[in-house]
Structure 1
Amino acid sequence: MKLLAHLTKAIVSTVIVSGALVVLSASVVSAEGRKIPVSPSTAKAHLQEAYGKLPLSFEANRGQADPQVRFLSRATGHTLFLAPTEAVLMLRSRERVNRYSLNVKRAPHDATTQPPDDSTARRPNDSATQRPNESTIEPHNDSTVLRMSFVGANPKTRMEGQEGLPGKANYFLGNDPKKWRTHVPTYAKVHYQDLYPGIDLIYYGNQRQLEHDFVVRPGADPGSIALSFQGADKVEVDAQGDLVLHTAAGAIRQRKPVIYQEVAGLRRDIAGGYLLREKRTVGFKVDKYDPSRPLIIDPVLIYSTYLGGSSSDVAGGIAVDAAGNAYVTGGILSTDFPTTAGAFQTTLGGDLDAFVTKLNPTGSALVYSTFLGGSAFDEGLGIAVDAAGNAYVTGDTDSSNFPTTAGAFQTTLDGFLAAFVTKLNPTGSALIYSTYLGGSSFDEGLGIAVGAAGNAYVTGDTRSTNFPITAGAFQTTLGGSAGAFVTKLNPAGSALVYSTYLGGSNNDDGKGIAVDLTGNAYVTGDTDSSNFPTTAGAFQTTLGGDGGDAFVTKLNPAGSALVYSTYLGGSGLDRGLGVAVDASGNAYVTGDTRSTNFPTTAGAFQTTLDGFADAFVTKLNPTGSALIYSTYLGGISFDEGLGIAVDSSGNAYVTGDTTSADFPTTTGAFQASAGGALDVFVAKFAEIGPSATLTLQPPAATNPVNTQHCVTATVEDAGGSPTLGMTVRFAVTGSVTTGGAAATNGSGQATFCYTGPQIPGADTIAAYADMNNNAAQDPSEPTGTATKTWVGGGSSPGAQLQDLIHLVDQMNLTKSLQNRLIHDLDKTLKDLSNTKKPGKACKDFDKIIKDVQNKKGQQDLTADETADLLNRINQIQTSLGC
């Protein structure tokens, strides 16, 4: 999967539980046999890096924007509108205030302060919290609009898209299908022809910066260019020559223009810069240049510094299909064309649409971008993809006209905020179905999975006492002020297969969901409820503390009963954020914890809390009654596991983020130290430790000299299952000194081959499973040994003498000594062959022995080498009867 291979270039660490570390793979396989991403959160972070390098995609206006707009571009935190007489940039500010405290998490405290009381301190997006009266809730988000007008320009300039892109844009905005737009063409550039006499303008860029080249043809006057800025309180040119536009919501910087001409195929820079005129109007000053050649003036608008933390809005969720295409959902600024300039604060105002973007496997191009929304606020928070490439999206909306489809389960907004579930076709150009999912209050979809039959499984949280629940469901009433829900939709999205509340008398929410081959749903999240539903014999049946615990619940295929349900936590705050399941029904959970007594297992990678909050990784057995393994994962600050996946061998792949400078990384990791205030990590965990075994086959063997010998190591975990991807290191000592390393295959086997010596001898082959991949053997790592005996081509004196010649030829001697010894030994061999009389050969050996003894202990022949040579000569002399 090329995309994931690209994304994993930014790996911070690869860590293995119970002391075993193995090499990260680019993709893993689900229980259904499909390739799946290492983790949504890793993809989210590193896809952002790839996404930022993509060219801006300029859409032709086909009715998705105001008629005066000819082209528009939407990217992280901004929308650009291009009209004949102006360019309008709408930017979202760095910090977005959450709309509803329904989605407010416990906030991590500053490292310089005392940790807050876990019972009240919550991070953004954690639904288990105190909630305000609904009448006082008002979502808002700070934005600014910057208008750049082309003063004195040609209002009839011809605008055209250039360099068509393969991706298409699709718009499902509002609930009137007649107004939906699909297959909208996109371009890498927009060309204004004759914007000023003899001057063209070309827009292009990437997700972090916007470039616009003024192309001044021969004879045209660059002094005619005049740009007027509205929405900026102050416009100035700083000491670096940059144009700084000060807005109420922050500063936007336009770099000093690069001015140049092409001469004989080479670029010749021309001195110049910005020229401030009256009333926030800017032109360009250009030094002497050749007016007979075109002149390029290239200013670059950098908006990534303004957007800052809004990069987190790129992806609320990510999925990857079997071909390696990535599907991203989140929220993006709407296409509502602003009629004013300057900073503004939207309230319940349609300033955000949900989006689904599909990128090709290399991450180098968009396949499609589809926008979903109504007149208010819409955001995608979770996404899944089936084997056919259909995308399933969940999130929340407060738009009464969110796009729904005929026959869908729920086509009207019944409360303040509803979850939604939308299924898109593989090209993103049609809604297979789209439905609200909610009651009369506040509901949001946070996680989604898809079963083999095409059923969507959704979890999230709700405050609605009338959330749609099915007859016979496990829990039919809301137990507290906010509860989790688990809903299974039929493949057509027209009916609920089942839908149930899940919670106790306080606050509970579902964050992650997975489904196994038989249709059991596995849900994780967090709860403050002391009476959260648990099952007899479950691992933990009581709430660990006032801060709240993670939970892991397995629902039967009918949604009518709990197969098992357990708390998972200690005395502090613990949250489950991601869950996966293997073919055997083991559940793998990750999240974060502030508990010093979070349940861990003996021999786990990390058994103590090292910071304010650590990630955790836990594997539960199929009955939910015991932990197979459980470990902290973190450093001295804040760390959280956000996503988890499992391959067919039971290796767990965990990703999340960390603010710890000492987050555990490993030797050889791509990035072994922190790169900033917040970093992403990825780790691979396997169930292996001191109880694991390594065996070598064959354990003993005899081969002729100078032939190849192979030995195979088999690594099995504590339960006797083969371990995939384990690095096994081999070392050979004896007649040959060599070594190497190989990774185990699906059968847990790694093979190492080497060529034997030219003369008879014996070797010992030692191997160990390098579980933490540090190229050093640790006491807990399983080992194995084998022996190898090399026999000569014959036992005759002539064969022994040939072996001796080969030995001398391989020795690290001075050239003069080596040549002399080989010459004398070769002469001895010829004498033995020609005369068949041992007497002459015996005399030859006397000379060789004297030569060897004279060099004993000197630089070019060590004492050990001398002893070995004399011993071998003595054996040959004995055979000859000397």
Structure 2
Amino acid sequence: MFKWSNVLPVGIMCTLALFAKADAPQHTVPFVQNKGQWPKQILYKSALSSGAIYLEKNGWVYSFYDDAPLKDYIQKWHSKDFNRNYEGHQFSMKGHSFRVNFTGGTNDAEVVSEQKQHYYYNFFQGNQKEQWASEAGAYSSVLYKNVYEHTDVRIQKLNMGVKYDILLHPRAQINLVKLCFTGADSLWLSEGKLYIKTSVNTVVEQRPYAYQRIKNAEVQVPCHFVLDKNELSFSIDGDYNKNETLVIDPLLIFSTYSGSTADNFGHTATYDSKGHLYAGGITTGAMTGGYPTDTGSFQQTFGGGNGPFPCDITISKYSTSGDSLLFATYLGGQGNDYPHSLVCDNNDNLLVMGTSYSRNFPTTLTAYDTSYNSSSDIIVSKFSIDGKQLLGSTFVGGGGVDGLNN
């Protein structure tokens, strides 16, 4: 049976379009460092289109979902005829996860982050302060060093998918490199590509491209996949220079989703005295990437007393020009949390007012009210100027329904 840990995943909001330049560079969700906000076996995590990838010590885990039911539910939620006060609404979503591990490698591989970004992430999720995390680093790539003798593996996040490079240094043996796939419905090779079939999508690894850098020139080396049941290896067609590093470079493309990939929604925005821009919104990632403790297909049911659809508050701070992310912060609990208004005080600390359905919404020790009352409560939270500290956070409400934004 598929089980989920009680984790709220990363998914950066897309409300920059409210005020960013039209020609601003597109932000790609990087690999985010685990500083205690996720289970300890996760080293880094990145959001994917309709899913997530989790990097671990000996490989990585993909988790995807079919978001068509979510899209349909959101459309109903925004309909004027939809009864938002009814707590019995439910819908189910199907998902699938599979694992890719290095087979027969060394036991002393070192996992090293690369290309650190100038922005960072903060996580204030739940009312257990020891599970909060600030200034989690963001990286464009992660290097697995010495996975096999004289062999490294670099994984990168690109706009169109995920790319990993196998770096065979001098004296490396290509026949040792084997990737084991666990949890996929089926795997097959066609026209040199690897197809990974799950119950919700098909992942394609493009035909591998291998090359060497010799005298500042890129020399292509013919290469192809070899698939033995659920184990993938690589074969070189011919000879190559054993005294130079050989790079094998496949690219993964995620395809055949049945629904929309949009799961982030903008709600509010503001600015501080220096002109920095803040965007407040929600991410439905609360249901798309809780860490899978098993592989294969699964199904989850949402709603029914947890508010409309599962979501967390996301707060992003941008440069004065609106084209550079400075930090992103996630705020919420196990239920549903929505921002309604943002404002900066005289010291440029950010205040967030919203509505929460979460019994464990993060509150601070000296808060006006640290107890969730019932149904929905108004929440007010205050962040430091750098987003790293939750200066104050409280419930405001009585025994009835509070803070509904109709």
What does residue range 4-23 of structure 1 map to in structure 2 within 5 Å? Answer: none
Tell whether 2:260 aligns with 1:309.
Answer: yes
CA distance in 2, matches of 1:57, 1:309: 21
CA distance in 2, matches of 1:414, 1:86: 43
Q: Is the 8 A contact 1:92 1:307 kept in 2?
A: no
| Structure 1 residue 192: Cα displacement | 0.8
CA distance in 2, matches of 1:325, 1:307: 35
Q: Secondary structure at the match of 2:370?
A: coil
Question: Counterpart of 1:251?
Answer: 202
- Which of 127, 148, 154 matches 1:175? 127
Question: Counterpart of 1:148?
Answer: 100
What does residue range 23-102 of structure 1 map to in structure 2 within 5 Å? Answer: 43=17, 53-74=26-47, 77-97=50-70
Q: Is the 8 A contact 1:98 1:140 kept in 2?
A: no
Tell whether 2:256 aligns with 1:283.
Answer: no
CA distance in 2, matches of 1:45, 1:77: 25
CA distance in 1, matches of 2:166, 2:71: 40
Q: Which amino acid aligns with 2:292?
A: P
| Structure 1 residue 93: Cα displacement | 2.8
CA distance in 2, matches of 1:427, 1:263: 46
Alignment deviations for residues 446-489 of structure 1 (CA, whole Å, 9 cap, x no partner): xxxxxxxxxxxxxxxxxxxx235xxxxxxxxxxxxxxx86xxxx
Structure 1 gaps of 5+ residues are 1-39, 106-122, 441-465, 469-483, 486-508, 511-882
Q: Is the 8 A contact 1:331 1:378 kept in 2?
A: no
Tell whether 2:153 aligns with 1:201.
Answer: yes
Change (3 A) 1:217 1:403: same
| Structure 1 residue 195: Cα displacement | 0.6
Q: Secondary structure at the match of 2:118?
A: coil
CA distance in 1, matches of 2:183, 2:23: 30
Question: Counterpart of 1:234?
Answer: 186
- Which of 187, 190, 194 matches 2:142? 190
| Structure 1 residue 84: Cα displacement | 1.3
Alignment deviations for residues 768-815 of structure 1 (CA, whole Å, 9 cap, x no partner): xxxxxxxxxxxxxxxxxxxxxxxxxxxxxxxxxxxxxxxxxxxxxxxx
Q: Secondary structure at the match of 2:70?
A: coil
Tell whether 2:344 aligns with 1:386.
Answer: yes
| Structure 1 residue 71: Cα displacement | 2.3
The alignment yields a C-alpha RMSD, in angstroms, of 3.5
Q: Is the 8 A contact 2:155 2:163 kept in 1?
A: yes
| Structure 1 residue 293: Cα displacement | 1.3
Q: Is the 8 A contact 1:316 1:382 kept in 2?
A: no
Q: Secondary structure at the match of 2:261?
A: helix
| Structure 1 residue 300: Cα displacement | 1.9
Q: Which amino acid aligns with 1:129?
A: F
| Structure 1 residue 73: Cα displacement | 2.7
- Which of 345, 352, 361 matches 1:402? 361
- Which of 112, 117, 121 matches 1:165? 117
CA distance in 1, matches of 2:398, 2:337: 18
Question: Counterpart of 2:279?
Answer: 327
| Structure 1 residue 169: Cα displacement | 1.9
| Structure 1 residue 165: Cα displacement | 2.0
Question: Counterpart of 2:219?
Answer: 268
Q: Is the 8 A contact 1:76 1:207 kept in 2?
A: no
Alignment deviations for residues 292-317 of structure 1 (CA, whole Å, 9 cap, x no partner): 21111122223376486222x23333
Q: Which amino acid aligns with 1:294?
A: T
Higher strand share: 2
CA distance in 1, matches of 2:117, 2:105: 29
CA distance in 1, matches of 2:158, 2:323: 12
CA distance in 2, matches of 1:373, 1:233: 35
CA distance in 1, matches of 2:372, 2:71: 20
Q: Is the 8 A contact 1:204 1:210 kept in 2?
A: yes
CA distance in 2, matches of 1:411, 1:93: 36
Question: Counterpart of 2:297?
Answer: 343
Q: Secondary structure at the match of 2:127?
A: coil
| Structure 1 residue 199: Cα displacement | 0.9
| Structure 1 residue 418: Cα displacement | 4.7
Q: Is the 8 A contact 2:278 2:315 kept in 1?
A: no
Q: How many residues align?
A: 382
Change (3 A) 1:235 1:380: farther
CA distance in 1, matches of 2:24, 2:255: 14
Q: Is the 8 A contact 1:64 1:181 kept in 2?
A: yes
| Structure 1 residue 202: Cα displacement | 1.1
Q: Which amino acid aligns with 1:232?
A: A
Q: Which amino acid aligns with 2:152?
A: D
Q: Percent identity?
A: 24
Question: Counterpart of 2:82?
Answer: 129
Change (3 A) 1:428 1:157: same
Tell whether 2:391 aligns with 1:467.
Answer: no
Structure 2 gaps of 5+ residues are 1-13
Q: Is the 8 A contact 1:208 1:304 kept in 2?
A: no
CA distance in 2, matches of 1:148, 1:45: 40
Change (3 A) 1:304 1:50: farther
Q: Secondary structure at the match of 1:333?
A: helix
| Structure 1 residue 96: Cα displacement | 4.7
- Which of 238, 250, 258 matches 1:299? 250
What does residue range 96-111 of structure 1 map to in structure 2 within 5 Å? Answer: 96-97=69-70, 105=75
Q: Secondary structure at the match of 1:402?
A: coil
Change (3 A) 1:425 1:157: same
Q: Secondary structure at the match of 2:90?
A: coil
CA distance in 2, matches of 1:154, 1:381: 48
**TM-score, normalised with respect to structure 1:** 0.39
CA distance in 2, matches of 1:237, 1:49: 40
Q: Is the 8 A contact 1:209 1:302 kept in 2?
A: yes
| Structure 1 residue 209: Cα displacement | 1.8
Change (3 A) 1:213 1:418: farther
Q: Which amino acid aligns with 1:89?
A: Y
CA distance in 2, matches of 1:272, 1:41: 43
Q: Is the 8 A contact 2:268 2:339 kept in 1?
A: no
CA distance in 2, matches of 1:318, 1:61: 28
Q: Secondary structure at the match of 1:323?
A: coil
CA distance in 2, matches of 1:161, 1:281: 26
Q: Which amino acid aligns with 1:177?
A: K
Alignment deviations for residues 657-710 of structure 1 (CA, whole Å, 9 cap, x no partner): xxxxxxxxxxxxxxxxxxxxxxxxxxxxxxxxxxxxxxxxxxxxxxxxxxxxxx
Alignment deviations for residues 377-413 of structure 1 (CA, whole Å, 9 cap, x no partner): 4354545343765444455544321212234454333
Alignment deviations for residues 587-640 of structure 1 (CA, whole Å, 9 cap, x no partner): xxxxxxxxxxxxxxxxxxxxxxxxxxxxxxxxxxxxxxxxxxxxxxxxxxxxxx
Q: Which amino acid aligns with 2:104?
A: G
CA distance in 2, matches of 1:309, 1:372: 24
Q: Is the 8 A contact 1:244 1:253 kept in 2?
A: yes
| Structure 1 residue 45: Cα displacement | 10
| Structure 1 residue 438: Cα displacement | 5.5
Alignment deviations for residues 638-659 of structure 1 (CA, whole Å, 9 cap, x no partner): xxxxxxxxxxxxxxxxxxxxxx
Q: Which amino acid aligns with 2:293?
A: T
Q: Is the 8 A contact 2:375 2:401 kept in 1?
A: no
Q: Secondary structure at the match of 1:223?
A: helix
Q: Which amino acid aligns with 1:222?
A: I
CA distance in 2, matches of 1:307, 1:357: 29
Q: Is the 8 A contact 2:67 2:93 kept in 1?
A: no
Question: Counterpart of 1:422?
Answer: 381
